[in-house]
C-alpha cells in the first residue's frame, strides 16, 4: 500500500545512526559487559523531591486531562526562569508546555515553516533536526562548522547561505554534539542577520545550565529578537528528568497560541503529575543544576585526562554539555568503523559523530553518562582498542 512522502522526509541516515545504541542496549540486556555511552541519559535518577512530588500528585488522583498548553503555575515558573536567564520580558502567555524539547522543536517547525522554505542550521547538528524541519515540507540547509576552528560558527558561511527562500535559523547553544556555547558576539551577529532578512530563530537551549567555561547567552534577550525567537528547553538534561518528557517553548504570544492549537491534536496536554514534578524541579533549580553541572565538569576532566596521551586520538575538553568529542582522524579509518570496532571488540558504545553532519567525520561522540569508575574503565578499553589499531 502507498505511504505518504512524509515517511521519506523523516527517515534516512540520521535515524540509522541509532543502530549502534540499540545493539548496545540489547547486549546489556543479555547480561554482556557493555558500557553504554551512546545516549544523553545519565545513570543517576531525578532528584528525590521531584519524584516525591509526582508520586504525591498521583496518590491524590492527579490523573485527568490538563490544560493543553500547560498549567498556569508551571508556565509562570518557566516564564520567570526564562526572563531571569536572558532578560527577555515574558509571562505565561508566551509559554507552551510540551512533551520534551523535541516536541517543542517539532511544533515550532510546523508552525513556522512550509514547503519551499529553507531553514539554516549550523552543522554538526542534532540528529533529529533534519526530520523535524523536513516534516514541515521545508528544506534543511546545513552550514558547516569546521573542527579546525573548534567547531565554532562560521558567520560568513551563515550569511552566504541566506536566500530569498530562507525562513528561519535553527541553532543549539550549547551544541550537541560539540559542546560549544555560542558567545554573545556570535549571537549578536546571528540576531543582526535575522533582523535584516526578517527571519525566525529557534534556539535550542536544553544544555544552558551545563556551561563549564564562559557564560550562556540567550539570543531571545538581544535587540530585535523578542518577536522573532522561539526558545526551546526542558528538564531532561538539567535535572536528569529525560523520562518525564517535560519541555517547553517560549515564543511570541500569538505564535504560542497557534502552537497550542497544534498540541491539541498531538499530545492533548502533559500529565498533571508530571507538571507537578516540573514545578518542584524549577523551585529547586539553582541547587540541583549546580550539582549536576559540577558532576559533568568532573567527568569531563576525568575522561579528557585519561585519554590525553592515547596515540591516534585527541580528546579536546568541551565547553559545555554531557558529551566529549573523540577525534580519531589520525587513525585514517572512517569514524563509523572505529565506533563499531570499539563496540564489538571493547564493549563500549559511542556514536559515530559523522551522523551529526559531514563536518564531524572522524569524530566519535562519547556520553558522560555513567559513574566515574565505569567512565575510567571505558577509557581503559578505548586505550587498549586504539593500541590494537596500530
Domains of the chain with bracketed CATH = 6-46+287-388 (3.90.1150.10), 64-284 (3.40.640.10)
pLDDT in tens, 189-239: 999 999 999 999 999 999 999 999 999 999 999 999 999 999 999 999 999
Q: Which pLDDT band holds residue 15 (cuts at 50, 70, 90)?
A: low
- Answer for the pair 363, 313: CB distance below 8 angstroms, yes or no: no
∠ Cα 324 320 376 (to 5°): 40
Q: Is the pLDDT of residue 89 over 80?
A: yes
What is the C-alpha separation between 187 and 173, in angstroms, rounded? 10
Average pLDDT value for residue range 9-35: 86
Average pLDDT value for residue range 345-374: 96
* Sequence-distant (≥ 6) Cβ neighbours of residue 57 within 8 angstroms: 272, 273, 276, 277
Q: Is the pLDDT of residue 286 over 70?
A: yes
- Nearest in space to 378 (alpha carbons), one of 21, 30, 36, 22: 36
Task: Specify the pLDDT at position 17.
Answer: 72
Phi, psi of 119 (to 5 degrees): -120, 120
Q: Show the cell assigned to 304.
A: 579528557
With a pLDDT cut of 70, the percent of the chain lying above it is: 99
Q: Which pLDDT band holds residue 46 (cuts at 50, 70, 90)?
A: very high
Average pLDDT value for residue range 55-79: 98
Q: Which pLDDT band holds residue 16 (cuts at 50, 70, 90)?
A: low
Average pLDDT value for residue range 267-272: 96
pLDDT in tens, 174-184: 999 999 999 99
Q: Is the pLDDT of residue 8 over 70?
A: yes
Q: Is the pLDDT of residue 11 over 80?
A: no
Task: Specify the pLDDT at position 217.
Answer: 97
Task: Specify the pLDDT at position 127.
Answer: 87
Average pLDDT value for residue range 132-144: 96
What does the buried/exposed string (b/e) look like for 262-275 if buried means 16 or more CB atoms within 10 Å of the residue's CB? bbeebbebbbbbbb
- Answer for the pair 353, 364: CB distance below 8 angstroms, yes or no: yes
Average pLDDT value for residue range 284-297: 95
Task: Specify the pLDDT at position 6.
Answer: 85
Q: Which pLDDT band holds residue 12 (cuts at 50, 70, 90)?
A: low
Mean pLDDT of the chain: 95
Task: Specify the pLDDT at position 13.
Answer: 62
With a pLDDT cut of 90, the percent of the chain lying above it is: 94
CA atoms within 13 A on the CB side of 170: 31
Task: Specify the pLDDT at position 14.
Answer: 63
Task: Specify the pLDDT at position 101.
Answer: 97
Higher local confidence (pLDDT), 127 or 375: 375
Pairing of strands 35-36, 348-349: parallel
Task: Specify the pLDDT at position 283.
Answer: 97
Q: Is the pLDDT of residue 56 over 80?
A: yes
- Omega within 30 of 0 (cis) for the link into 390: no
Average pLDDT value for residue range 246-270: 97
Burial (0-12, 13-18, 19+ Cβ within 10 Å), 37: buried
Amino acid at each position: 500500500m502507498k505511504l505518504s512522502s512524509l515517511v521519506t522526509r523523516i527517515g534516512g541516515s540520521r535515524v540509522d545512526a541509532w543502530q549502534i545504541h540499540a545493539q548496545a542496549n540489547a547486549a546489556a540486556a543479555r547480561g554482556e559487559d557493555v558500557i553504554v555511552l551512546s545516549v544523553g541519559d545519565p545513570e543517576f535518577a531525578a532528584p528525590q523531591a521531584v519524584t516525591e512530588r509526582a508520586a504525591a500528585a498521583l496518590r491524590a488522583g492527579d490523573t485527568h486531562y490538563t490544560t493543553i498548553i500547560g498549567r498556569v503555575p508551571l508556565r509562570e515558573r518557566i516564564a520567570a526562569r526564562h526572563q531571569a536567564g536572558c532578560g527577555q520580558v515574558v509571562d505565561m502567555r508566551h509559554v507552551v508546555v510540551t512533551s520534551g524539547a523535541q516536541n517543542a522543536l517539532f511544533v515550532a517547525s510546523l508552525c513556522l515553516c512550509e514547503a519551499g522554505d529553507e531553514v539554516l542550521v549550523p552543522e554538526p547538528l542534532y540528529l533529529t533536526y533534519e526530520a523535524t524541519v523536513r516534516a514541515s515540507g521545508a528544506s534543511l540547509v546545513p552550514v558547516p562548522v569546521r573542527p579546525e576552528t573548534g567547531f565554532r560558527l562560521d558567520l560568513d558561511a551563515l550569511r552566504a547561505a541566506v536566500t530569498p527562500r530562507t525562513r528561519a535559523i535553527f541553532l543549539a547553544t550549547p551544541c550537541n554534539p560539540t559542546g560549544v556555547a555560542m558567545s554573545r558576539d556570535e549571537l549578536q551577529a546571528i540576531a543582526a542577520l535575522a533582523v535584516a532578512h526578517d527571519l525566525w530563530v529557534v534556539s535550542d537551549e536544553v544544555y544552558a545550565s551545563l556551561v563549564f567555561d564562559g557564560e550562556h547567552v540567550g539570543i531571545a534577550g538581544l535587540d530585535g529578537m523578542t518577536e522573532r525567537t522561539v526558545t526551546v528547553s526542558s528538564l531532561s538534561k538539567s535535572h536528569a528528568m529525560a523520562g518525564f518528557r517535560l519541555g517547553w517553548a517560549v515564543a511570541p504570544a500569538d505564535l504560542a497560541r497557534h502552537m497550542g492549537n497544534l498540541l491539541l491534536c498531538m499530545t492533548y496536554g502533559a500529565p498533571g503529575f508530571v507538571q507537578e514534578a516540573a514545578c518542584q524541579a524549577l523551585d529547586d533549580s539553582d541547587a540541583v543544576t549546580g550539582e549536576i553541572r559540577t558532576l559533568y565538569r568532573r567527568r569531563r576532566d576525568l575522561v579528557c585526562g585519561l585519554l590525553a596521551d592515547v596515540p591516534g586520538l585527541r580528546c579536546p575538553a568541551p565547553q559545555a554539555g554531557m558529551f566529549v568529542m573523540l577525534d580519531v582522524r589520525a587513525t585514517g579509518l572512517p569514524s563509523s568503523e572505529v565506533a563499531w570496532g570499539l563496540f564489538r571488540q571493547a564493549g563500549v558504545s559511542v556514536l559515530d559523530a559523522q551522523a551529526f553532519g559531514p563536518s564531524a567525520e572522524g569524530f566519535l561522540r562519547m556520553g558522560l553518562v555513567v559513574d566515574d569508575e565505569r567512565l575510567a574503565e571505558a577509557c581503559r578499553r578505548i586505550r587498549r582498542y586504539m593500541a590494537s589499531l596500530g
